[in-house]
């Protein structure tokens, strides 16, 4: 099936021993985190995969398991390792969730950068999701949560509920194993985020076993902070983090 423009996977190949996996979020596209990927691509090898079900039809997100996304990022990691020996992983939203999963299962990773990652969602309908997903295919989208009105996120116009249920299944898996994360972790969290609450940052910070960990609070961005007013802060601090730990 043809992939829509803006959703394509991309790579940067550099004469560096350092590589960074850059992961996008649920219903979003590779372009959502591309400002970070493009910035890092000036210096390092970068691999940014398209997660299964994205860039085709929104209905495709109702036909998969979270294990498909794990396979996507594991495959991209293998590809990146062919040209880089020192690997970091960075992710936005559910991409951050997947980044933590990789850190739990790959102690050889040198560091993790997560931006407004999703593990906990405060929504009164969430307990009913196992039933609702069989009754309602989708609900209105939560994408394009950007303070900078000059920016528009490429993403689906709705949120498929069966796929969302898989996001939450993955969250349960990741939360259980958070103490296995020992790598340095840099957490970016927008103080005003209309998709995931601030507790995601503190919850993760308190449960990972990393000796080197930091929360950077963003004051001028919403959920898609990689495209928002604070993107330069994210880019530069991520670069500094990688240089420090590589």
**Active-site residue set:** 93, 193, 223
Paired strand residues for 217: 189
């Amino acid at each position: 099936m043809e992939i829509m423009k803006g959703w394509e996977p991309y790579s940067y190949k550099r004469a560096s021993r350092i590589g960074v996996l850059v992961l996008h979020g649920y219903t979003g596209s590779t372009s959502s985190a591309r400002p970070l990927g493009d910035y890092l691509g000036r210096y390092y090898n970068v691999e940014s995969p398209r997660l299964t079900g994205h860039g085709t039809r929104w209905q495709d997100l109702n036909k998969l398991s979270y294990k498909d996304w794990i396979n996507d990022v594991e495959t991209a990691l293998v590809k990146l390792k062919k040209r880089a020996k020192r690997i970091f992983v960075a992710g936005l939203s559910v991409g951050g969730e997947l980044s933590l999963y990789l850190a739990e299962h790959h102690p050889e990773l040198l560091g993790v950068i997560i931006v407004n990652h999703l593990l906990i969602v405060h929504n009164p309908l969430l307990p009913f999701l196992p039933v609702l997903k069989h009754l309602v295919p989708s609900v209105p989208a939560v994408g394009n949560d950007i303070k900078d009105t000059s920016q528009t996120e490429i993403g689906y116009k709705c949120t498929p509920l069966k796929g969302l249920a898989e996001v939450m299944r993955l969250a349960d898996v990741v939360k259980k194993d958070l103490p296995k994360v020992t790598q340095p972790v840099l957490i970016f969290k927008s103080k005003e985020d209309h998709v995931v609450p601030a507790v995601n940052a503190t919850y993760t910070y308190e449960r990972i076993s990393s000796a080197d960990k930091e929360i950077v609070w963003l004051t001028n961005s919403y959920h898609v902070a990689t495209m928002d007013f604070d993107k330069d802060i994210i880019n530069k601090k991520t670069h500094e983090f990688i240089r420090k730990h590589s």
